Amino acid sequence: MKVVSACLIGCECRYDQKSCLDAQLEELLREGKAIPVCPEQLGGLPTPRPPAEIIGGDGYDVLDGKARIVDQTGADVTEEFLMGARQALKLAQTVGATSAILKENSPSCGSSFVYDGTFSGKKVTGVGLTAALFRRNGIDVRSEQSNDE
């Protein structure tokens, strides 16, 4: 069983209320081989919502209390992102997921890149909060860009 970012299977749950449908991943869901999650919604954030970026590091730094997640209005949404990541992990563990395909560049789901925290569109090497929590708990995380299913 895999965990898949809900936006990748057509759920309009991104900050901008859009999806990033990937037909191959949608098929995994249809076959009962994947479970969709949206950590931001699981953390109680609305859709749509202001875009958010990690300030001061990446998801590992947020887990370690060294960085935070702030939305474009300046609101600190770190606690909501932490709650959502923990809930996504609980779901993954409940279904016995050993891998995840998550949306690249997201402050929750990025597996190789996240935005740099300046809201300028610049990406940096790093992982999102949920991706970091999954990896720390033994779940293999890849992006939809490296999906080889």
Q: What is the pLDDT of residue 147?
A: 57
Q: What are phi and psi of 13, to 5 degrees?
A: -115, 0
Distance CA 48, CA 95 (A): 28
Per-residue pLDDT of the chain (149 residues; tens, 9 = 90+): 999 999 999 999 999 999 888 888 889 899 999 999 999 999 999 999 999 999 999 999 999 999 999 999 999 999 999 999 999 999 999 999 999 999 999 999 999 999 999 999 999 999 999 999 999 999 999 999 885 44
Give the global pTM. Answer: 0.95
Give the N- to C-terminal CA distance of the chain in Å, as an integer.
Answer: 13
Q: What is the pLDDT of residue 149?
A: 45
